[in-house]
Structure 1
């Protein structure tokens, strides 16, 4: 849905009122920037672009701006941030809003203005009249985590915006190595497109060679080596992390988090949950669920229980100084691998 709206905005097909809500900050910021870039010329921004914080400014004052004719241009863009009156939360400020004025504006929006409500909240209060009216009259963008297919489509479009192509195998590897954080992916795609240039697609080989690995993704690779009973490769990744000055206690915490995720995914799948449902319950990206589900098949319930106990014991010893920290993780990797 959000990708379709972005395409329309990019073609300068804009609507008079937008409502963006959700906790995926990247989607909110990207939509704002798209509107700024496609609604206003550079010289118009000083005159026809306004941003209001509704925890500090009454809604009626912001709407007066929206009802003012644009100066030296055809459109006015007004962004209204933190409309807490759409939620069940109490405002941190002491601003009183004349919501009747908002309802009046929604019944007949100014044809020369684009008004954007940016609500960085997980949920809106659907019981409120003003929320119902705004959702009915506005173009709604739910800023939630993209599904796996949406993320892959977005990667393709981001690469295309940089004048590059990227194939499906390369996208799969990019998400495995760089994760699904859209801010991080933007940086990686822009770098890969710059390297590939216009003469060659972004291939799996280019992704493998140039993509920066986060600690979490390195740990995923480490666990994947353990899954395939390749403890030597797992140790190589671990030693590389130590050379990068990663703390053993932090490495252990991320390893524990990955095995906890594998355990949770396995348990929820047994209860009949699909990958999308599991992602919702655990509040993580569906692609991470897919990867964890692939790893879960390599371990029995008994093995996972044993591994979680090993990791808990290692954490206790690391915090009480029972053994050298670096050695503890080496031992854990051998024990997980089933060796003495």
Structure 2
């Protein structure tokens, strides 16, 4: 996110470079920048003759270079955008030839999604070092970074959001950034003059239950609230499509794995700084209190046992060593976690 902001700032301060190569596993940032270029570089009245959109599956690199070397018509610059550039395959390496005679009046943008260029190849080295090019890597937002990203995105849109609402979005939508951005965009319209996104708004407009979700299940487990955990499990059993067992076991496994790590950190360094512990666990500092509480309920030996239980239930849910119903598997999971 910080690299994206730096690039947007550079546009305003320094103008545009002749070549932008946007690559990486996260399509959201690439799409965002692509939209920015197509909306801002060429004026509306010039777009029909000075803005060209190409698609990797329909052209060759030579076609792209030929288009890029044309002069703008009745204007000072031309924009050439190659969407789905990953479909150019290995021929993308031929782009090196363009740097032998760059057209300074053209802004050439490649949208190369879901992977990165081979860093050993000449094209990557050229893009990295050439003063006329910008190589932007769109990396996936890691799970532990997701809540911070959501909060930052919301703030950038002039809004505030409750911590619980952040957790609900992260848990329900995962790190599908495009979907998260779309849902927040819808809520922004609904909010009108209000600025705060609450758990109630998430529940009413996105369909995520604020009481019965994996975030609340983990909270119930962490704070030794067996009754609430069973209530949530019962709700999950009645709504299996929106609450697949594999997601529940994965999130519980992550929780107890981090709890095991928390025990290890605090055992070795009882006076460790909370911010440093949160960093080592790869979590938002806000969530550290849940691990502090859970560590008093589950000693290290019980944590290890629970990790084994979660693996066992996950395998059973996949048809290994049994064929119990979703409801029965959840009941067995909750009982074994608490007992």
Q: TM-score range by the shorter chain?
A: 0.7 to 0.9
> Does the 8 A contact of 1:178 with 1:213 survive in 2?
no
| Counterpart in the other structure of 1:237 | 232
Q: Distance in 2 between matches of 1:123 and 1:278?
A: 28
Q: Does 1:104 align with 2:104?
A: no
Q: Does 1:196 align with 2:191?
A: yes
> Does the 8 A contact of 1:20 with 1:140 survive in 2?
yes
| Counterpart in the other structure of 2:123 | 130
2:20 is paired with a residue whose SS is strand
Q: Distance in 1 between matches of 2:67 and 2:103?
A: 10
| Counterpart in the other structure of 1:184 | 179
| Counterpart in the other structure of 1:300 | 299
| Counterpart in the other structure of 1:173 | 164
Cα deviation for residue 110 of structure 1 reads 2.8
Cα deviations by residue, 1:197-223 (Å, 9 ceiling, x for unpaired): 13x2124365455463669x9223212
Cα deviation for residue 154 of structure 1 reads 2.5
Distance 1:102 1:18, change over 3 A: same
Q: Distance in 1 between matches of 2:92 and 2:8?
A: 33
Cα deviation for residue 92 of structure 1 reads 4.9
| Counterpart in the other structure of 1:283 | none
> Does the 8 A contact of 1:3 with 1:154 survive in 2?
no
2:301 is paired with a residue whose SS is helix
Cα deviation for residue 78 of structure 1 reads 1.5
> Does the 8 A contact of 2:20 with 2:109 survive in 1?
yes
| Counterpart in the other structure of 1:334 | 335
> After superposition, where does 1:27-42 map in structure 2 within 5 Å?
27-42=29-44
Q: Which runs of 5+ in 2 are unaligned?
A: 269-275
> After superposition, where does 1:3-42 map in structure 2 within 5 Å?
3-9=5-11, 13-42=15-44
Number of residue pairs matched by the alignment: 310
> Does the 8 A contact of 2:23 with 2:113 survive in 1?
yes
Q: Distance in 1 between matches of 2:229 and 2:278?
A: 27
| Counterpart in the other structure of 1:311 | 310
> Does the 8 A contact of 1:263 with 1:296 survive in 2?
no
| Counterpart in the other structure of 1:119 | 112
Cα deviations by residue, 1:184-239 (Å, 9 ceiling, x for unpaired): 221221122112113x2124365455463669x92232122121122232233333
> Does the 8 A contact of 1:173 with 1:207 survive in 2?
no
| Counterpart in the other structure of 1:88 | none
State the TM-score, normalizing by the size of structure 2: 0.74
Q: Distance in 1 between matches of 2:66 and 2:280?
A: 44
Distance 1:256 1:290, change over 3 A: farther
Q: Distance in 1 between matches of 2:325 and 2:92?
A: 59
2:168 is paired with a residue whose SS is helix
| Counterpart in the other structure of 1:50 | 52
Cα deviation for residue 263 of structure 1 reads 3.9
1:61 is paired with a residue whose SS is helix
> Does the 8 A contact of 1:12 with 1:39 survive in 2?
no
Cα deviation for residue 58 of structure 1 reads 3.6
Q: Which runs of 5+ in 1 are unaligned?
A: 86-90, 280-285
Cα deviation for residue 129 of structure 1 reads 3.2
State the TM-score, normalizing by the size of structure 1: 0.74
| Counterpart in the other structure of 1:282 | none
Q: Distance in 2 between matches of 1:20 and 1:54?
A: 14
